[in-house]
Amino acid sequence: MKNYILYFFVFLILFSCTKEVPETEKRNVKSIDEAAVRELIENYFAAYNAGDIETAAEYFDNDYKVIATDSLDVIGYENAKEDLLQYYRQYPKGKWENKIEEITIADGYAIVISSGSFMQPDPLTNKLEPTYSERSIRILKKDKNKMWKIFRYLSAPTFTYDEK
């Protein structure tokens, strides 16, 4: 009988422990994830601006999809990589300036709202000037290795410069 009572108390103690994560630990994980997401976005633009399209494309998820209001949708990693390379070849002196406005993280996904401008050298002054500006949403997700990847990219132009 003593053994049953002992087993009962051990059982009671083991199963009465909660698995809920304390709020401070949740905030720490969120801030670590937020820093990782911010760094990924910054590294993506740095790689593109350096002309390293291979590295820039490594930040894309295999199921990456681009939905832009002023162009055709691009679906899949290889197509997105080729589209990025084509864009770089078309505007080799262009650079992206991006400003992250908000990051929201939940359940293995991150939503990054940002504004950005594509800058190109002015033919007269050779100073970088915006030729296209946009507001965008990038949705990132954690892959099987718990690494963030850009999963979706949605954008709408806020300014375009069209030569006439």
Q: Which residues contact 7 (CB under 8 A, 6 or more apart)?
A: none
Domain that holds residue 57: 21-160
Q: In terms of Cα–Cα distance, which of 67, 48, 68 is closest to 58?
A: 48
Residue 33 pLDDT greater than 60, yes or no? yes
3-state secondary structure of 152: strand
Instruction: Read off the pLDDT of residues 61-77 as tens digits, 9 standing for 90 and up.
Output: 999 999 988 788 999 99
* Banded pLDDT at 10 (limits 50, 70, 90): very low
DSSP 70: T
Q: What is the pLDDT of residue 12?
A: 42
Q: Is residue 13 part of a domain?
A: no
Q: Is residue 52 part of a domain?
A: yes
Q: Is residue 118 part of a domain?
A: yes
Tally of domains within the chain: 1
CATH number at residue 110: 3.10.450.50
| Cα three-residue angle 97-75-160, rounded to 5 degrees | 35
Q: Is residue 61 part of a domain?
A: yes
Q: Is residue 15 part of a domain?
A: no
- The percent of residues in the chain predicted with pLDDT above 90, rounded, is 69
Instruction: Read off the pLDDT of residues 88-115 as tens digits, 9 standing for 90 and up.
Output: 999 999 999 999 999 999 999 999 999 9
